[in-house]
Structure 1
Amino acid sequence: MANATTRTKRLNETKMILRQPLLLIAILLSFALLLLFVIYPLAKTLIYSLTDETGAFSLANLITILQTPRYGKVFGRTMALGLIVAFIATFIGYIFAYTVTRVNVPAKGFFKTMATLPILSPPFVLSLSIIFLFGKQGLISKNLLGITGSSVYGLKSLIVVQVMSFFPIAYLTLSGILASIDASVEDAACNMGAGRWKTFWTVTFPLSLPGIISGALLVFIQSLEDFSNPATIGGDYTTLSIEVYNIITGSYDMRKGSVLALLLLLPAVIAYLLNKYWVNKKSFVTVTGKPTQARKLIEEPHIKWPLFAFCLIVSAIIILFYGTVIFASFVRTWGVDFSLTLDQYRKALQYGWDSLKNSMTLGLISAVIGGLLGMVIAYITAKRNYYGKRFIEVASVLMFAVPGTVLGISYILGFNSKPLALTGTGLILVIVFTFRNMPVAIESGTTTLLQIDNSIEEASTILGADTGYSFRRITLPMLKNAFFSGIVYSFTKAITAVSAVIFLVSPRWKLVTSNIYSLFDLAKYGQAAAFVTMMVGILLVFIGLFNTVINLLLAPRSKVPQAKSKTEESK
């Protein structure tokens, strides 16, 4: 009976949508774009990997790879690295989140900044800093410790770099979970005689367990997808993403590379689905409709100061890493001549000004398109119910679970021949950036829309405004923060992307990250540091500009007089 009622409601709303041309166009356009630029390339990769040169179905390549000991070893290394990084990064993220939300420590704002900085920074930063500090000419290894010929390449450095890069993901997930736990639940345990330690293990930790699992899964996915760090600091410790790249660029074996890409895609998608559909169901609600009391922050010195010291040490390491890269960009020759100069910037701009300009231009275009399209998809999935909605919901966030290397291969296979010959153009890079980074805007927009009462839009409709006008003048301004965060994230990830575009760049559309990767191969670390420092500055400037522009364009306005005026004009 309930299913029949749901189907009836969906049918009635579908009929209503058919009478609203603008809304119908938005749904059909979203459906078509997702089908073309998300489902089609992934399906193309799956079909290509399971067929032979004649196009006939064949598992020969898959069987060959599964029977080759080398690929099994690489797969095991990739999984082991992901698990190790997920455990350590989640542990650090939890301590940071617990300290910020539960303990009365000084400099909380500073710790929050340090815990989110690696997310907004370009890749290669931490790999560069490890080389500058502990390499053959390392500031610490050679100048301070007197160690000559030290090598920083391998598993240990890779773990350090990935942990410092990805622990902010766990922190952001866990800080939200810990902040949402009702303070009275923990206070009740303390009032019944439980100490801080027992309260933590019997109340706080179990309630935050879904966030711990979610954070660990997200870090695991990021470790699997990571290309830049294993490529620059991994040494002989090869991961699947590097193996796929070497097979395609070195052996020119696209079919074998696509099969390996599927082996990389499978655990990433499983981890994503576990996080999205299983972990979310395990969440425990402690917030009721009653007013909640203010949380009593922990003041005990034996808890407060050790946690403060831990966060301070991690923050100091982050500052050391980033400060080293910035300083190295102004040094003439690292390890030999530490005199200050701007030569690294001059050489970097001569070498790759066009690539820097391309990254900024394409990143800006894709960020605006992805932000707007993300808000539209969020609206039609959160506020409307129709046939085909489930497809849009799943397809729109699917790219978030697809490793960048797999995505690059999929777009080569899907758009390398007519009538969709886009490979080598700037358009394909814009499309990749848009659909790769759009899920964050969609999730942010959906969360915001679910908190907006439908009666607000209904009032606008009663006054004569159509759906498009109501969305543009009422809903979109309310989505200002979600729109801003989506654009900032999309722009940041676009100009710092490596794995998703490593196969798609061309001589005409070379990107700054591919140039930095080339500088690593040439051991021109000073120029790489200059590029990275410029990218950090560009990101900070654009974030400020985005914030200013969006606040001006989407400033709240009077809705009723405008809607009435529009109605009167139509009459």
Structure 2
Amino acid sequence: MNCAGEKRFSVWTSFSLIILAIFAVFIIYPLLLVLCKSVIDPHSGNFTLNYLTKFFTRKFYWITLVNSLQVTACSTLLAAALGLPMAYVMRSVKIKGSNWLDILIVISYLSPPFIGAYAWIQLLGRNGVVTQWINAAFNIKFDGIYGFAGIVLVFTLQSFPLVYMYVSGALKNLDNSLNEAAESLGCSSFGRITKIVVPLVMPTLLASSLLVFMRVFADFGTPMLIGEGFKTIPVLIYTQFMSEVGGDDGFAAALCVIVIMLTILLFFVQRFFADRSTYAMTALKPMAAQQLSGIKKILSHAFVYLTVGLAILPQVIVIYTSFLKSNGGQVFTGGFALQSYEATLFTKNNDCLWNTYVLGLVAISIIVVLGILISYLTVRKRNLLNSTLDTITMFPYIIPGSVLGISFLFAFNHPPLLLSGTALIMIIAFAIRRMPYTVRSSTAIIGQISPSVEEAAISLGASEMKSFTKVTVPMMMPGVLAGAIMSWVTVISELSSSIILYTNSTQTLTISIYTEVIRGNYGNASAYSTILTLTSILSLLLFFKLTGKRDISI
């Protein structure tokens, strides 16, 4: 809180106003412009609801929203149903190789969902290895994973690690004496889980489920690759905008408005239920993993190994197929070779690698600096201005990337801010979209730092700014790095917004992967995907090295 004698206008107020102005230009203004375009006739300039009416009166359009909600709801429920028991088993049972399993779970989450879709096509596509075996063994005609079931499968296996990481972090703070007290009163193991553990971690479960919901709902690549006739709203937004960008773009704007309103509504619903079931926990006696025996040990190990194996399988398939021989990258001919890497790294223009790392590093630098300032302002300098800033930083959490990309083109396709087609618009989109990871992680860590530490530095003669830079920031770094690593790996794997904003000179790895898959060049796509996966793994190992941790606390 601000001290009574503190100046009403200080350097911190200046920071707040500057950051708020940045967000107003790059978040509020583009979204307001989308809203205006959705209800203004471009020819007469009059108010109209024709675009919204067009969507809700034609089944071809509104069914995509129903499809998205079906896929998202099923994937979120299954991810929660898988992530919660995984976290509990890994925390309460001694599982052999648990440290490595933790790392594999995180790695399985780091790659874009559409890479998982591509990998499952290799296994369960119409000509996939498993599909051919099933058809030959059972003499049936299995058409593969395309459609609703395939999309849900990919999203579930790719999203449950997020629930796992959140719930696992919450279980660290659970006081096991509550379980022991319940056991002494005759409560069964299942009863303790349902009546004590689940209610205590419910706010965390809801928060992680919301992130899964928003991520699945906004994803464009997976349903585009394996959806076929099952279209979702992000696919509709993309196809409508790309086909109408030279003419009537009002309908694309109307689609964006519908998605924004829905995601904001869901966000506040989640916040309402989370606030009603919030608990403060202090692990005076943390949960300790127990050594099981007999059938319980076998079942717990089988459940964990099978789940982790399915989650990491896409990365394994991608790396494996990147070393297979092919006839130009489309059909694998057997044997191993470096042909795909030669085609992507040496015989083709590989600016996508340079763009991915350079644009990503610039974006992550912006994210870290602004993330630290925003978290400090919202925790240490609480007022209406900073509360507004804190709320606005949550918008990128809930706005799909394709919507953000379209709003940027609407807003910055003409002077005085002509940014479309430049690297700068990509950097800004990456920074805005992925900043919440670092902001939330930094906010959590600064909440654990006592203000008395800064007050002691000031009492010894340090200025408030010097106390912030020399004392507070170094103490914040573990939380900052945890958020930054999540921001970094999501920046380099961003597809939804970059597919709208990129040009040939700003193409990134994810766009290259997507275009190669669409062209059927699976060998090239595997090589690019392997490079992206290895980059994520190296980033994770660097985080462990710098912080001395063995996991990412969220």
Same fold (TM over 0.5): yes
Residue 30 of structure 1, aligned match among 8, 16, 19 = 19
Q: Which residue of 1 aligns with 2:375?
A: 378
Structure 1 SS opposite 2:413: coil
Structure 2 SS opposite 1:339: strand
Q: Is the 8 A contact 1:50 1:58 kept in 2?
A: yes
Residue 95 of structure 1, aligned match among 78, 81, 85 = 85
**Structure 2 counterpart of 1:31, which letter?**
L
Q: CA RMSD in A?
A: 2.3
**1:117 counterpart = 2:79:** no
Q: What's the CA shift for 1:156?
A: 1.5
Q: Is the 8 A contact 1:412 1:504 kept in 2?
A: yes
Q: Is the 8 A contact 2:2 2:381 kept in 1?
A: no
Q: Which residue of 2 aligns with 1:70?
A: 60
Q: What are the within-5 Å matches in structure 2 for residues 107-506 of structure 1?
A: 107-142=97-132, 146=136, 150-252=143-245, 253-287=248-282, 291-292=284-285, 295=288, 297=290, 299=292, 301-333=294-326, 336-349=332-345, 350-506=347-503
CA distance in 1, matches of 2:177, 2:104: 30
Q: Which residue of 1 aligns with 2:512?
A: 515
CA distance in 2, matches of 1:157, 1:293: 39
| Residue deviations 1:32-74 (CA, integer Å, cap 9, x gap) | 1111112111111112112111333221111121111112211
**Structure 1 counterpart of 2:367, which letter?**
G
CA distance in 2, matches of 1:199, 1:539: 38
| Residue deviations 1:288-342 (CA, integer Å, cap 9, x gap) | 8xx4366463736444432321111112223432211111001112765121111
CA distance in 2, matches of 1:51, 1:421: 23
Structure 2 SS opposite 1:312: helix
Structure 2 SS opposite 1:502: helix
**1:42 counterpart = 2:31:** yes
Moved more, 278-287 or 63-72: 278-287
Q: Which residue of 1 aligns with 2:45?
A: 55
**Structure 1 counterpart of 2:274, which letter?**
V
Q: Is the 8 A contact 1:89 1:167 kept in 2?
A: yes
| Residue deviations 1:243-279 (CA, integer Å, cap 9, x gap) | 0001111243421111112222223222222333431
Structure 1 SS opposite 2:506: coil
Q: Is the 8 A contact 1:374 1:441 kept in 2?
A: yes
Q: What's the CA shift for 1:447?
A: 0.9
Question: Residues 457 and 11 of structure 1: is their aligned pair in 2 closer, same or farther, counting only changes over 3 Å?
Answer: closer
Moved more, 330-339 or 394-403: 330-339
CA distance in 2, matches of 1:74, 1:199: 41
Q: What's the CA shift for 1:209?
A: 3.0
Q: Is the 8 A contact 1:185 1:286 kept in 2?
A: no
CA distance in 2, matches of 1:125, 1:452: 39
Report how many aligned residue pairs link the two structures. 538
CA distance in 1, matches of 2:286, 2:152: 41
Q: What's the CA shift for 1:11?
A: 9.1
| Residue deviations 1:434-463 (CA, integer Å, cap 9, x gap) | 111111111111111111111111122222
CA distance in 2, matches of 1:106, 1:273: 41
Q: What's the CA shift for 1:550?
A: 8.7
Structure 1 SS opposite 2:504: coil
CA distance in 1, matches of 2:316, 2:368: 32
Instruction: Report % sequence identity.
Output: 25
Question: Residues 460 and 266 of structure 1: is their aligned pair in 2 closer, same or farther, counting only changes over 3 Å?
Answer: same
Q: Is the 8 A contact 1:224 1:264 kept in 2?
A: no
Structure 1 SS opposite 2:145: coil
Q: What's the CA shift for 1:75?
A: 1.0
Question: Residues 534 and 109 of structure 1: is their aligned pair in 2 closer, same or farther, counting only changes over 3 Å?
Answer: same
CA distance in 1, matches of 2:91, 2:542: 30
Q: What's the CA shift for 1:112?
A: 1.6
CA distance in 2, matches of 1:310, 1:489: 27
CA distance in 1, matches of 2:187, 2:540: 46
Q: What's the CA shift for 1:546?
A: 6.3
Q: Is the 8 A contact 1:137 1:335 kept in 2?
A: no
Q: Is the 8 A contact 1:461 1:470 kept in 2?
A: yes
Q: Is the 8 A contact 2:173 2:286 kept in 1?
A: no
**Structure 2 counterpart of 1:87, which letter?**
L
Q: Is the 8 A contact 2:182 2:192 kept in 1?
A: yes
CA distance in 2, matches of 1:535, 1:76: 33
**Structure 1 counterpart of 2:7, which letter?**
M
CA distance in 2, matches of 1:543, 1:352: 28
CA distance in 2, matches of 1:414, 1:468: 36
Question: Residues 352 and 262 of structure 1: is their aligned pair in 2 closer, same or farther, counting only changes over 3 Å?
Answer: farther
| Residue deviations 1:188-208 (CA, integer Å, cap 9, x gap) | 111112221222233223333
Q: What's the CA shift for 1:523?
A: 0.6
**Structure 1 counterpart of 2:218, which letter?**
E
Q: What's the CA shift for 1:149?
A: 8.1
Question: Residues 246 and 112 of structure 1: is their aligned pair in 2 closer, same or farther, counting only changes over 3 Å?
Answer: same
CA distance in 1, matches of 2:271, 2:227: 30
Q: Is the 8 A contact 1:221 1:271 kept in 2?
A: no
CA distance in 2, matches of 1:238, 1:452: 48
Unaligned runs of 5+ in 1: 1-8, 552-571
Q: Is the 8 A contact 1:122 1:532 kept in 2?
A: no
Q: Is the 8 A contact 2:171 2:287 kept in 1?
A: no
| Residue deviations 1:87-144 (CA, integer Å, cap 9, x gap) | 1111110111110112233222233223222222244321121111122432222257
Question: Residues 263 and 118 of structure 1: is their aligned pair in 2 closer, same or farther, counting only changes over 3 Å?
Answer: farther
**Structure 2 counterpart of 1:480, which letter?**
M
CA distance in 1, matches of 2:441, 2:113: 24
Q: Is the 8 A contact 1:404 1:500 kept in 2?
A: yes
CA distance in 2, matches of 1:160, 1:37: 35
Q: What's the CA shift for 1:24?
A: 3.3
Structure 2 SS opposite 1:337: strand
Structure-1-length-normalised TM-score: 0.89
